[in-house]
Structure 1
Amino acid sequence: MVNPGGKFGPYNQPGPTRSEAVSDMRDARPLSGRSQTGAELVRARIALRVRLGSLSPGDRLPDTGVLAEELGISEITVRRALEGMCQDGLLDRRRGRAGGTFVAQGWARVVTLLYDADEAASLDAFHLLLECGLVAHGAGELPAGRLAGLRALVDQTDLADDPARLLELETRFHLDLAETLGGAGMRELTGDLIGRLCLLRPAPSPAVVRDRNRCHADLLTELGRGAMDPAVRAVKAHHQAHQRIHPG
């Protein structure tokens, strides 16, 4: 996850929970049946930063030691993950005084070669389950004004024209929704899911993002009313909008 300071954030730092049930959900694993490896964590965090616009093709990554500290994993694991991403063509390694590891100029082109529909479907199903659970838990318990930031993101998405900006705003909506309903730990888990999905399936078109933004607006309306069932249906409608474009 990208924290407000622009860093990756320590992966294992526990976030506040609203109940034992939500705590149990944070410990759940994606439906693929295995936990995320350190290399997948590094890839997911970098992909998320690209989606959020805090990293762009040609940008230099922080040094390996800095990344290891921010992620809470070993420097060897980070170095191996970055080497793998260089081999894939996602990153470039440059030598010399101005050297380092950079986001490849061909990032978007390379990502299209990494798509995995089955893995994406598994992670997307877990994300749907996670959001439905958070919405069901939080409906009727949100204090007045708690949804103001999310409503602002919906309004900004309605006004945005740039495709990259639309993707950034939609991603921030899901991150902020997870934190609003479940705390910092849920935001981090959601960020890792979205980061992995960025490398596994095509980004939605602007028309799809706008369609899903209407689901966001409906969700906030129902959460504001404390209506759990309609709120959960809005989450499912968002998922179905994606499925219409990327079936299976």
Structure 2
Amino acid sequence: MPGRLPASAAVFRPVRTRNAFEETVERLLQAIRLGVAAPGERLPAERELAARLGVSRVTLREAIRAVADAGYVESRRGRYGGTFVAEDLPSLPRPRRGATPTGAELEDVLTLRRVLESGAAESAAARSLSPAERQHLRGRLTGVAEVPRGEEAEYRRRDSRLHLAIAEVTASASLTTAVADIRTKVNELLDAIPLISANIEHSNEQHRTIVEAILSGDAPAARAAMDEHVGGTAALLRGFL
């Protein structure tokens, strides 16, 4: 009979998607929130943890830095150094309009977003876009990529406009309205978690891939790229919320 799977093994298991950074952040936060890694406890050594998660040490360091910036872990130097869970953990972030959503409520939003936005990207790529529509997408892509560091509110605004632009070029008013509605809910959740620079860089790369697939008329690639993109955001939201 197989032995019991330790909780640490269940949490620190290999990530399964290409959103390695976001899922690593999710796993670290999950371990802390579930008490698998208790306040003051040292996390496994970097080499071991990277191997268990199936990510590069560079990705792991970026994820640890993001979690440290949010106040959940701290690094200590010296013979007995390493990465430790903070003794005083931050209060759980809360959306601006009330209590933290339940797991079911969060999954409801994330599922609807994935269906709508992945479908919108696929539909946009399947259309023969006009020069004006193509210029509209490129302009929104450039706009979000050019937001200066530290301008969190502006980044979220331009990011939203890019996603809405993708819905707009499907030429479906109903779909555009639905994407706008779900994006409002997603933004309320995003406002409750830190805006992480490494995630912004990753998101901008994914934005370019999505838009390029749409402009080239590759509907399956556009859907897959958007699915991957929203999956990364979902991983961060699950981790922090």
TM-score, normalized by length of structure 2?
0.51
1:199 aligns with 2:214: no
Superposition deviation, residue 195 in structure 1:
1.6
CA RMSD of aligned residues (A): 2.5
Q: How does 1:86-101 map to 2 (within 5 A)?
A: none
Name segments (4+ residues, structure 1) moved above 6 Å: none
Deviations 1:76-109 (A, max 9, x none): xxxxxxxxxxxxxxxxxxxxxxxxxxxxxxxx97
CA distance in 2, matches of 1:163, 1:120: 22
Q: Partner of 2:88 in structure 1? A: none
CA distance in 1, matches of 2:97, 2:204: 25
Secondary structure of the residue aligned to 1:160 is coil
Q: Partner of 1:10 in structure 2? A: none
Whichever residue aligns with residue 177 of structure 1, its letter is I
Q: Partner of 2:160 in structure 1? A: 171
Superposition deviation, residue 169 in structure 1:
0.2
Whichever residue aligns with residue 215 of structure 1, its letter is Q
CA distance in 1, matches of 2:114, 2:171: 15
Q: Partner of 1:240 in structure 2? A: 231
CA distance in 2, matches of 1:113, 1:172: 25
* Native 8 Å contact 1:157 1:169 kept in 2: yes
1:226 aligns with 2:217: yes
* Native 8 Å contact 1:131 1:235 kept in 2: yes
Superposition deviation, residue 203 in structure 1:
4.7
Whichever residue aligns with residue 180 of structure 1, its letter is V
Whichever residue aligns with residue 136 of structure 2, its letter is G
TM-score, normalized by length of structure 1?
0.50
Question: Structure 1: which 5+ residue stretches go unaligned?
Answer: 1-107
* Native 8 Å contact 1:138 1:181 kept in 2: yes
Q: 1:189 aligns with which of 178, 193, 211?
A: 178
Q: Partner of 2:73 in structure 1? A: none
Percent identical: 18
Q: 1:153 aligns with which of 136, 140, 161?
A: 140
* Native 8 Å contact 1:170 1:213 kept in 2: no
Whichever residue aligns with residue 226 of structure 2, its letter is V
Question: Against the structure 1 CA distance between its residues 195 and 113, is the aligned structure 2 distance closer, same or farther, given a 3 Å change threshold?
Answer: same
CA distance in 2, matches of 1:203, 1:144: 37
CA distance in 1, matches of 2:126, 2:188: 35
Question: Against the structure 1 CA distance between its residues 122 and 109, is the aligned structure 2 distance closer, same or farther, given a 3 Å change threshold?
Answer: closer
CA distance in 2, matches of 1:219, 1:153: 12
CA distance in 1, matches of 2:221, 2:157: 26
* Native 8 Å contact 2:209 2:225 kept in 1: yes
